[in-house]
Structures are given as structure tokens and as C-alpha cells.
Structure 1
């Protein structure tokens, strides 16, 4: 079984990555 803390960490990293990528594409298109 995976630890909840590890899942939470991966989830936060994924969300941060998606947000960063979204902002990068947004400002890159301007």
C-alpha cells in the first residue's frame, strides 16, 4: 500500500506541473 503522504506529494507535484505548463503556454502565446 502506498502512503497517503506520497500520494499527496505526487498529486501536488502534478497539479503544480499542470499549472506551470498552462502559464508557460499562456505567456508564450502572448
Structure 2
């Protein structure tokens, strides 16, 4: 919490992938 990290934050890590796969993963993760 000292670094400003709270429960309301989302960690996003993106590698080399097709943009459609990234969008699909985000939609799945946020549902």
C-alpha cells in the first residue's frame, strides 16, 4: 500500500500476440 497499490488496480501484461487474442482475453477477464 505504500507504493499506491490498492485492490482497485488491474495488472495488465501483454506479450507478442494477435490483437484479437488480447481483446478476447481482456473481455474474458473483465466479465
What TM-score, normalized to structure 2?
Answer: 0.46
Larger Rg: 1
Structure whose residues are more often helix by fraction:
1
For CA contacts below 8 A with separation 6 or more, give which structure has more relative contact order: 2
What TM-score, normalized to structure 1?
Answer: 0.48
